[in-house]
Structure 1
Amino acid sequence: MTELPGASEEEFRKICDFLYRRSGMLFTEAKRYYVQRRITERMTALEISSFTTYFAYLRSDADGEIEKFINAFTVNETYFYREEHQLRCLSSDLLNERVRVKRPGEALRIWSVPCSTGEEPYSIALWLLENWPEVDVQDIEIIGSDIDTECVTAARQGDFGQRALMRLTPALIGKYFVSSGKDRWRIVEEIRQSVQFTTANLVDTAETRRHGIFDVIFCRNVLIYFDDASRRLAAENLFECLAPGGFICLGHTESMSRISPIFEVRRFADAIVYQRPQGGMHG
């Protein structure tokens, strides 16, 4: 595939700009084949042969096409207990530090964004049940959010294949999952009910702020798809969603220090994380 059907260079740039403004994801000429493949898939699904016709259809948001268009570009590679060292840090350091500054009865709030199909927020729930002694005496809220609406729907269903469970022991699978078909397992209802799922766009300030204030945010392996301006905006939005002294965990290839100076670096035995300084007022 060398060209989009009927798409000029200018039109290709326009659709990349459209995606960038809507999602913060930046795709350049180097990713042209990837972009072309995703758009061609949408055009085929709609039985539209002209790029110009498709772009007009997209901009008008006919039949919710913008949402479907963005969903086509999200990367949803994940599995349970990914980057386990951060989960160890969560239970050994981060939550204990947050508990000390919480008022009696005040919930500990953890946000997984983007949450993909739910493996990460469910992993947090399982990990705390298995590894944090305070889990039964603390009020814990876990929220998973993603820009991909299809992922959010799948996350709520909590149904997974073998690959997603590859890091879990047979004992954990037997304890927290039930068979839902050939090589498929569904996480038990008690865990599904304990995690709330929402849609969220990290570069939409109003959308992030409506989720409230969190003690710990997991935001892994998404900022690498943004340009510098979108990364800074996302970082500022996440900062405003953290309680003073709250923590954010990024993917292993990401560094908040290269994005924004507003966070402090904290080095624990298991992980390097980033902290909103104590004492700051929310903007």
Structure 2
Amino acid sequence: MRASGLAARHTITDADFQKFAEFFYRKTGIHFDDGKRYFVDKRLVERIEATGAENFRAYFVGLRFEADGAEMQHLINAMTVNETYFFREAYQFDCLVNDILNEVARRKRPGSRIRIWSIPSSTGEEPYSIAIYLLERWALIDDYEVEILSSDIDTEVLASAQRGCYSARSVGQLPQAYLRKYFTPHGPHEWRITRDLVDSVEFSRVNLSEPADTRRFRDIDVVFCRNLLIYFDDLSRRVAAEALYDALSPGGFICLGHSESMSRMSSLYTVRRFADAMVYQKPLEA
């Protein structure tokens, strides 16, 4: 038996860890290997104590058979990692306004809708970065009805995104002119984003591994799905890639994180290399 270094009455054994990891994987597509053992054990013990369960077994039985899914959502919130900031990997935003959206617009009439989906939303830095880029740097922004959707499996970060309050570190990459234009000081070390930007993004809870959650997303022109699939195993990545493919319009684009490669997940997409970034496209004839 392997102890987690936590209180003995809440020790997570190897068998407990494997049982939980398999259950969590089936529910979310997120794979925990032994390298994540301390992180998982610590969060599990926190949830056992928060619920007042006697031990892991009692907690796990209650988790599996709860009717409303409330504790499962608390657990998901505890187990997901959210680390981001404004204008992260900005070269893809450059690609969005310099090439991708212009190509999308050529296939549409002026005044028609362009849909952009950011998943995971985390605490909102990515979808709000997209909104700022469009307002500041896409010349055709007034000619189309742009809809920005943003989703996450973690309800706590979605609530944080809708509050729109950010640390100095989170806004540290923003040009000062943008900071002054789109944010107001909120306390000594925080900034609050303008209500207009908050209202420009539609937030929702989505589990990318759950077909019922992704089925309602269709006719998407651009997807940003960055640094999420690194937490999935090969099977879950393929499932996610197919779900995103179904969500995209023919000719739609998907941007992944710099360490991710769609070519290793799915053969459904075409690689597109633009001046600022390499992205992936759903074929036009799909």
TM-score surpassing 0.5? yes
Q: Is the Cα contact below 8 Å between 2:225 and 2:257 reproduced in 1?
A: yes
Q: Within 2, Cα distance between the matches of 1:197 and 1:152?
A: 7
Which residue of the other structure, out of 117, 131, 134, is the alignment partner of 2:140? Answer: 134
Structure 2: unaligned runs, 5 residues or longer: none
Q: Between the two proteins, what is the percent identity of the paired residues?
A: 51
Residue equivalent to 2:3: 2
Which residue of the other structure, out of 247, 272, 278, is the alignment partner of 2:278? Answer: 272
Residue equivalent to 1:22: 27
Structure 1: unaligned runs, 5 residues or longer: none
Match status 1:47 vs 2:48:
no
Residue equivalent to 2:226: 220
Q: Within 1, Cα distance between the matches of 2:180 and 2:84?
A: 21
Query: What letter is aligned with 1:226?
Result: F
Residue equivalent to 1:176: 182
Q: Within 2, Cα distance between the matches of 1:100 and 1:205?
A: 31
> Superposition RMSD on alpha carbons, in Å?
1.5
Q: Is the Cα contact below 8 Å between 2:3 and 2:13 reproduced in 1?
A: no
Shift of 1:99: 0.3
Alignment TM-score, normalising by the size of structure 2? 0.94
Alignment TM-score, normalising by the size of structure 1? 0.95
Residue equivalent to 1:260: 266
Query: What letter is aligned with 2:218?
Result: G
Shift of 1:168: 0.6
Shift of 1:6: 4.7
Residue equivalent to 2:41: 36
Shift of 1:18: 1.1
The DSSP-based 3-state class of the residue aligned with 2:133 is: helix
Q: Within 1, Cα distance between the matches of 2:281 and 2:218?
A: 17
Residue equivalent to 1:111: 117
The DSSP-based 3-state class of the residue aligned with 1:142 is: strand
Listed one character per residue, the Cα deviations across residues 65-115 of structure 1 (whole Å, up to 9, x for unaligned) are: 000111111110000000000000000000000001114432110000001
Residue equivalent to 2:74: 68
Q: Is the Cα contact below 8 Å between 2:128 and 2:201 reproduced in 1?
A: yes
Which residue of the other structure, out of 56, 59, 70, is the alignment partner of 2:61? Answer: 56
Q: Within 2, Cα distance between the matches of 1:60 and 1:150?
A: 23
Aligned length: 280
Q: Within 2, Cα distance between the matches of 1:33 and 1:184?
A: 31
